[in-house]
Amino acid sequence: MNALTIARGIHILSIVLWMGGVAFVTMILIPAIRSSSFRGNEYYIFNLIENRFAYVARALVILAGLSGFYMIHLLDAWDRFMQIRYFWMHSMLLIWLMFILALFLIEPFFIKDHGRIVKDERNFGNLRKTQILHSIILMLSLFTIFISVLGAHGFFA
Ligand code: HEM
C-alpha cells in the first residue's frame, strides 16, 4: 500500500511538472514570441526555452511511465486495458505514447531544431500552426488528467 501511494505521488508530481511546462509553452511562450516585439529574435528565444524544456520533459515522461507501469504491476491491473470502462487508462497510455514519439523520435530526428521553422520569415505562419498543435495536445492532456482522477476514484466503476 505504501509503495502504491508513493508511486502515485511520484506519478502526479511528474505529470504536474510535465503538463505545467506544456501549458507554459502553449499559453505563454508561443503567444509571447508571436507578438511583434519579438520579431527577429524568435529563433533564439524559442530554441533557448523550448529545447531546454524538451530535456526536462523527456525525464518527466520517463518518470510518469515508470511510476504508472509500476502502479499497474502493484494493482495487478493489466486486464484493465481489455475493459472499455477503463477508457481513462487507455487515454493515459495514448497521451504518454504521443509524447514518447514526439520527444524521442520526431523532435530529435525529424525536427532537430524546432526554432529553424520559426526562423524562416516566410514560415512565420508556422508558429501559428505550432500553437494550434500545442493547444490540441494540451487540451487532450488536461482532459485525460480530469478523467483519470475520476476513474482512479471509482467514478466510472
Ligand atoms: C505509460 C503511461 C501511464 C501509465 C501506465 C499510467 C498508469 C496509472 C495508474 C495505474 C494509475 C492509478 C489508477 C488507480 O489508482 O486505479 C494512474 C493514475 C493517474 N494518472 Fe496515470 N499513467 C500513465 C500516464 C499518465 C498521463 C500521461 C497522465 C496525464 C495526462 C496521467 C495522469 C494520471 C492521473 C491524474 C491519475 C490519478 C491519480 C489519483 O487521483 O489517484 N497518467 N496512472
**Are 88 and 150 within 8 A, CB to CB?**
yes
157 in any annotated domain:
no
pLDDT score, position 34:
82
Give the residue-averaged pLDDT of 43-58.
Answer: 85
85 in any annotated domain:
yes
Least confident stretch, 33-42, 50-59, 114-123, 131-140: 114-123
Per-residue confidence at 124, pLDDT binned at 50, 70, 90? low
Mean pLDDT of the chain: 89
Kindly state the percentage of the chain with pLDDT values over 70: 88
137 in any annotated domain:
yes
Protein residue closest via CA to atom 9 of ligand 1? 68
Per-residue confidence at 5, pLDDT binned at 50, 70, 90? very high
Protein residue closest via CA to atom 26 of ligand 1? 92
89 in any annotated domain:
yes
The stretches of the chain forming alpha helices (DSSP H) are 2-24, 30-34, 42-46, 52-75, 87-101, 114-119, 126-152
Pocket of ligand 1 (CB under 6 A): 8, 11-12, 15, 64-65, 68-69, 71-72, 75, 92-93, 95-96, 141, 144-145, 148-149, 152-153
Domain span at residue 24 reads 2-152
31 in any annotated domain:
yes
93 in any annotated domain:
yes
Give the residue-averaged pLDDT of 130-143.
Answer: 95
Give the residue-averaged pLDDT of 121-132.
Answer: 72
Q: How many domains does the chain have?
A: 1
Q: CB neighbours of 67 closer than 8 A, spacing ≥ 6?
A: 7, 8, 10, 11, 14
pLDDT score, position 95:
98
Q: In which residue are the cell numbers 520527444 written?
A: 103
Atom of ligand 1 nearest to the CA of 146: 35
Per-residue confidence at 120, pLDDT binned at 50, 70, 90? low
pLDDT score, position 32:
86
pLDDT score, position 138:
98
Angle at 100 between CA 2 and CA 148, to 5 degrees: 45
Amino acid at 46: F
Protein residue closest via CA to atom 42 of ligand 1? 92
Protein residue closest via CA to atom 4 of ligand 1? 68
Is the pLDDT assigned to residue 59 strictly greater than 70?
A: yes
